[in-house]
Structure 1
Amino acid sequence: MIKFPYGISDFQRIRTDDYLYVDRTAYIPTLEDADRQLIFLRPRRFGKSLLLSMLANYYDVQTAGEFATLFGDLAIGQQPTAEHNQYLILRWDFSKVSAQGDSEQIKRNLFAHVNVAIQGFQVRYQQYLTTTSQIYADNAIASFESLCNAVQNSGHSLYLLIDEYDNFANEVLMQDVSDAQRYRELLEGEGILKTLFKIIKASASEGKISRVFITGVSPVVLSDMTSGYNVATSIYLEPRFNELCGLTQEELTPLVGQVLNECGQNIAEQASVLETLRQFYNGYRFCHRAERPLVYNPTLCFYFLRHYQRECEAPRKILDGNLAMDAGRIRYIAALPNGHGIIDQIVDDERPVMLQELESQFGVEKLREVQQDSRYMLSLLYFFGVLTIRDIGELGKLVLGVPNLVIRGLYVERLKRHALPRPQDDQLAESLAEKFYQTADLQPLVDFMESKYFAVFSNRDYCWSNELTVKTAFLTLLFNDTWYIMDSETALQRRYSDLVMIIRPSMRHYATLKDFIFEFKYLKLDDLKLTGEQLREKSVVELEAMPQVQKALQDALAQLQQYRPVLAGKYQQPERLRCLAVVALGFERVV
């Protein structure tokens, strides 16, 4: 059976304990040629730490005797570079540095982490060090300089690997966007982090450090420490490294086939499982070349496949808890001025978000612009992994979009919390939606929407509202990735204003669940020549009888008649399919 390395980023353990390893060693020569000091950014849970662990084991003098075991059957094992097993490896992981407390406390936390790493280094390489280095409890930068001198004096070379370089500084920045003082103290002037990277730069220029590889999520911290460390090459948008982290379709397909075989299931199930994985976990592109393949989130794929392996069915919860922090990133953007407007724009599929270039200067001086300028907010969401490069549009503009349904669910949840901040309203909405999934009776949910949901919209929302806005409202209330796939653009070749809810393959055994397709129409109050108060006084029967409503309903039904055969033919259960024409009259009433 495949042993999926879910949550494991220790390359040596993966290789010696027979866990699955998706080979990325073929990139080693390309990384060596790229430069001697590299910065590589990717979203959380994309395998950055495993990449660093692989590099550490490849270049470490201590693992030379294990080279055949660790790398012999991998791509690099056939043609290793001259630098393999030639370095002493120093690793820092800034995700372990607490961002709690004032700047002095954070400084102590950072110094403690650096000193602990140096102490471990001294123990590991004591036979290679002919001179000793000093540990300064109150000055880890001095400890680091002492270590660099000891390595150089011993005739060896140092490879510095830094994981999540931006983690604790980003946490400081985002804990309170209105107070950036702690962040300034960490980075500006002679801030501790900036000073540390100045020493790295100087040590590299003096030959005390031979190579540096840095990973992180965003360039927020990078721009503030650039003057202290302006010698590294950023490779995170280079097309040749698009698939350096993540899984490709070609890599995932045989894994699915093997898991199905282990479960004794027909290989015919493979297409269905792959489609579920594609809908929920695929969709990421990390370069400007549209021809480069989309990649999957590896952590979520391994979560899914490991569960399938044990239970021989897909997990009920399609999203595991590892993306909780990604929800926090969306929450951060939503808290900014116009943040909710940006999220509304992102979930509007008809008008894709476009940028000429991703913004990369996110320093504290740009903080106000991040809060006001959509270009900065959208770029930040890209680096967080909750937007991706979907295509290249006119004049080379980047077309950004939500990568998959897991991420769309995070946006929808944020919109729902904004519209229904009271837990009791949220719970009632969930109960009404659950009843709708089984009865197809939309009226109770419509009554709730009219009384609760529409109340949060301002006059500005009225000015910009249309059927897409109404669709988003229904999407927010009905989204459920436990039972449904709420995306079938390819299946229907539909217009974007439709909402399609297809029961997940693994949930189709629940006989009471229905498949749904909606067609939305929107009528402005001005066109109806009625006020909101007048509409609220009318009964549902009176609303249905209005000529404008009748015409809109008939137009919607005509379109649904075209869509129905496509879905009925695809899923072979026409008796479960319900088609609904929905007409919104402003943000007052729904028929």
Structure 2
Amino acid sequence: MAELKLFPIGIQDFERLRKDGCYYVDKTDLVYKMTHTFNYYFLSRPRRFGKSLLISTLRDYFLGKKELFEGLAIEKLEKEWKKYPVFHLSFAGNKFTDLKSLQIYMNFKLSELEKTYKVTNTNEYEWGPRFEKILMTAYEQTGTEPVVLVDEYDAPLLDTMDNPELQLILKQEVRKLFSPLKDMGGILRFVFLTGISKFSQLSIFSELNNLNVITMDNEYAAICGITKEELFEQMKPEIQALADNNNMTYDQACAALTQKYDGYHFTEKSPDIYNPFSLINALSKKELKNFWFATGTPTILTRLIKKYKMAPESFDKGFPATLEMFDAPTETATNPIPMLYQSGYLTIKNYDGYEYTLGFPNDEVRLGFVKSLMPYYATDDQIQNDSFILRITKAFRENRLEDALKEMKAFLSSIPYNAEKQDENHYKTLFYLIARLCTPYVVKTEEASAAGRSDMVVETESAVYVFEFKLDGTVEEALAQIDSKGYLIPYSVTKDKNGNDKKLVKVGVSFDAEKRTLGEWKIVE
């Protein structure tokens, strides 16, 4: 068996990655193109998508570390390997919850640079003049144009999304740091800034209006992340090892990786891009887990969903959007779509030349997103929610539908009443969240058929259950609607793994508005 690659789990430093012999998905052709085309760039990508590694790669390239790039595309492209003074500022990995914490951090970073170039700080907390003086001194001392690389520029602003007044103060503080960069264009070799979100240039970069924003440029769509071609051409032994470890065929493993981690499109003509963090963890550990989501969901996202009362079901189906609706400055947005898109919870699913369709990129994001919403629609007790999901999932897995419905009835009865939010749509969404969390089943809500939409479909290994909930009607009316609308028809040829027809079951459920839980139900095979 071929020797398996050593993947750089948790390594975002290019030099360490190369010296440790870790596998690197070669993006250096794009690095060369970028550094020889323009001087000022901005790129936004979701967290854990390789932005820090890209910044580190640029740093080592501009430091002239030719030996680190042996065997990579740029080795044949670059002839000079000139060394530049590189200024690498990273806001990643820090929590900025007040002005003092940001000032302490920025003072620390600039003091380090002042020591390196023997510059005396005469401007105290005036970040712009201090940074300009350091850059000018570096230029004079080396006779070479400085390079400025800024990683996660927006970390202080994302930390304060739910405190607009504090965010404005931190925004002004960050803006001071960047203020000299445009006027110094004549002596700067290269400026590159990354972040998750897109704050308006006027609010952050002040006069720095000459940034080339490549976030949605087709030629740089794959500069972060791993494409389908890169995965299937370069990682076959690792995919086979994953398949062997999970009793799958090679093709089944490919399909599982695609369904769980693929689906990102950052431009109109973007190739299929896999979440790199989840993918290399899955291949390294030979497990199909929710690695990216386990690293944390920004609480601001769930707050935004609540605030704007967005139905999570719509993300599953995909919804139409103009470019201005999602590629927009975060702080001026009147809905959560820009934040959801820029954070990686929504992506471009289609573009027809006129409008975009946005939706969940893959199963990992869908599951994680749904789980983060559950406390809002059910109870704040995450353990209670998770225990319920375990019990109802087991009931579905064992085809004990009656028990599954009893579990649901008891769970709904335990949810504290909130008159403001518990209307019909609230409960329909809650049914959707419950069904979605009952993995590993294919679960659909309001699944479209030629005649109409059913409320929920749960597909197990041996059966397909089509549910119709009547919040203001009877069980008989619910069953009649399943028949009259032909909701079962699309599943009449569904097969199990042995090629046998799956059992088709229709489930009519009425909702007891007074008790705020399931009333009656009827199961018909």
TM over 0.5, yes or no? yes
Q: Is the 8 A contact 1:134 1:147 kept in 2?
A: no
2:303 and 2:174 map into 1 onto residues whose CA distance is 23
Deviation string, structure 1 residues 140-184 (Cα, Å, up to 9, x no partner): 544422321222212111011110011122212x2xx2x422222
Of the three residues 122, 125, 136, the one matched with 1:149 is 136
Structure 2 partner of 1:109: 105
CA–CA distance in 2 between the matches of 1:363 and 1:297?
22
Offset, 1:450: 4.2
Are 1:432 and 2:430 counterparts? no
Q: Which digits, 9 at most, give the CA deviation of each residue in 1:243-262, with x for residues without a partner? A: 11111111112454212556
User: Does the aligned pair in 1 maintain the 2:389–2:434 contact within 8 Å?
Assistant: yes
Q: Shift in Å at residue 582 of structure 1?
A: 2.5
Deviation track 1:256-307 (CA, whole Å, cap 9, x = no partner) reads 42125568959982211111111111111111x2x43120000100110001
Asked if 1:21 corresponds to 2:24, the answer is yes
- Per-residue CA deviations over 1:160-216 (Å, capped at 9, x if unaligned) read 1110011122212x2xx2x422222223xxx32111111222222xx3322101111
Secondary structure of the equivalent of 2:342?
A: helix
Partner of 1:302: 280
1:499 Cα deviation after fit:
5.5
Q: Residues 517, 73 of structure 1: CA spacing in aligned structure 2 closer, same or farther, 3 A cutoff?
A: same
Amino acid at match of 1:585: S
Distance in 2, Cα, partners of 1:10 & 1:143: 27
1:4-24 CA distances to partner (integer Å, 9 max, x unpaired)? Answer: 111111111222221100000
Q: Could you say which residue in structure 1 is the equivalent of 2:177? A: 196
Hey, what's the Cα distance between the residues in 1 that align with 2:279 and 2:120?
Answer: 45
What aligned pairs does 1:88-487 form with structure 2 within 5 A after superposition?
A: 88-101=85-98, 103-117=99-113, 119=115, 121-122=116-117, 132-135=118-121, 138-139=124-125, 140-154=127-141, 155-172=143-160, 174=161, 177=162, 179-187=163-171, 191-204=172-185, 207-220=186-199, 222-260=201-239, 265=244, 269-287=249-267, 289=268, 291-308=269-286, 314-315=287-288, 318-320=289-291, 323-335=294-306, 337-338=307-308, 341-349=309-317, 352-362=319-329, 364=331, 366=332, 370=333, 373-374=334-335, 377-393=336-352, 396-423=354-381, 425-450=384-409, 452-453=411-412, 470=428, 472-480=429-437, 483-484=440-441, 486=443
In structure 1, the residue matched to 2:498 is 572
Using the alignment, how far apart are the partners of 2:214 and 2:139 within structure 1? 28
Question: 1:427: how far off?
Answer: 4.7
Identity of matched residues, %:
20
Alpha carbons 2:278, 2:292 under 8 Å: kept: no
CA distance in 2, matches of 1:164, 1:70: 24
The whole-number CA distance in structure 2 between the counterparts of 1:427 and 1:98 is 29
The residue type paired with residue 87 of structure 1 is Y
Question: 1:484-503 residue pairs with structure 2 within 5 A?
Answer: 484=441, 486=443, 497=454
Contact kept in structure 2, 1:286 and 1:388, CA below 8 Å: yes
Secondary structure in structure 2 of the residue aligned to 1:357: helix
1:71 matched residue in structure 2: 69
In the superposition, the TM-score normalised over structure 1's length comes to: 0.76
CA contact (8 A) 1:37 1:212 kept: yes
1:97/1:221 CA distance change after superposition, 3 Å: farther
Give the structure 2 partner of residue 85 of structure 1: 82
Task: Give the length in aligned residue pairs.
Answer: 506
Conservation of the 8 A alpha-carbon contact between 1:524 and 1:585:
yes
CA gap 1:239/1:210 in 2 versus in 1, 3 angstroms: same
Q: Provide the secondary structure at the position in 1 that maps to 2:222.
A: coil
Amino acid aligned to 1:342? M
Per-residue CA shift, 1:315-372, capped at 9, x if unaligned? Answer: 4xx112664433534323234x22xx214353452x62433534555365x3xxx4xx
Q: Read off the aligned partner of 2:370 and give its amino acid letter.
A: V
Report the secondary structure of 1:413's partner residue: helix
CA distance in 1, matches of 2:145, 2:217: 28
Would you say the 8 A contact 2:445–2:455 is kept in 1? no
Report the Cα distance in structure 2 between the residues aligned to 1:77 and 1:229, rounded to whole angstroms.
Answer: 32
Q: Residues 450 and 117 from structure 1, CA distance in 2 versus in 1: closer, same or farther, beyond 3 angstroms?
A: farther
CA distance in 2, matches of 1:304, 1:381: 24
Amino acid at match of 1:583: G
How far did 1:73 drift? 1.1
8 A contact 1:90–1:118 mirrored in 2: no
Judge conservation of contact 1:165–1:216 (CA < 8 Å) in 2.
Answer: yes
Deviations 1:371-400 (A, max 9, x none): xx33xx11211001100011114x611110
Pair 583,322 (structure 1): closer, same or farther in 2 beyond 3 Å: closer
Contact 1:170–1:221 (8 Å) recurs in 2 = no
For 1:405, the aligned partner's letter is D
SS at match of 2:358: strand
Where does residue 128 of structure 1 map in the other structure? none
Q: Does 1:517 align with 2:441?
A: no
Instruction: Please give the root-mean-square deviation of Cα atoms over the aligned residues, in Å.
Output: 3.5
Residues 421-430 or 395-404, more deviating: 421-430
Distance 1:327 1:477 in 2: 22
User: Partner of 2:88: helix, strand, or coil?
Assistant: strand
Of the structure 1 ranges 250-259 and 160-169, higher mean CA displacement relative to structure 2 is found in 250-259
Instruction: Work out the CA distance in 2 between the residues paired with 1:460 and 1:261.
Output: 48
The structure with the largest helix share of the pair is 1
The separation in 1 between residues aligned to 2:446 and 2:498, in whole angstroms, is 18
Partner of 1:532: none
| SS of residue matched to 2:124 | coil
Q: In structure 2, do the counterparts of structure 1 residues 147 and 496 end up closer, same or farther at CA, with 3 Å as the change threshold?
A: farther
Aligned amino acid, residue 58 of structure 1? Y
Distance in structure 2 (CA, Å) of the matches to 1:282 and 1:182: 37
Superposed counterparts of 1:38-57, under 5 Å: 38-57=41-60
CA distance in 1, matches of 2:33, 2:150: 19
Alpha carbons of structure 1 residues 233 and 549: separation in structure 2 relative to 1, 3 Å: closer
Instruction: Between 428-437 and 266-275, report the one with greater CA deviation.
Output: 266-275
Amino acid at match of 1:170: L
Residues 327, 480 of structure 1: alpha-carbon distance in 2 compared, 3 angstrom cutoff: farther
**Residues 74-130 of structure 1, C-alpha deviation per residue, up to 9 Å, x if partnerless?**
111112165x334111100012443033x24422222213333554x54xxxxxxxx
Whole-angstrom distance in 2 between the partners of 1:45 and 1:460: 34
TM-score, with structure 2 as normaliser: 0.84
**Contact kept? 2:149, 2:191, Cα under 8 Å:** yes
- Take 1:359 and 1:409, find their aligned partners in 2: how far apart are those partners? 22
The answer on whether the counterparts of 2:95 and 2:156 sit within 8 Å (CA) in structure 1 is yes
Letter in 1 for 2:193: I
Given the superposition, is the C-alpha separation of residues 47 and 80 from structure 1 closer, same or farther in structure 2, using an over 3 Å criterion? same
Q: CA deviation at 1:489?
A: 13
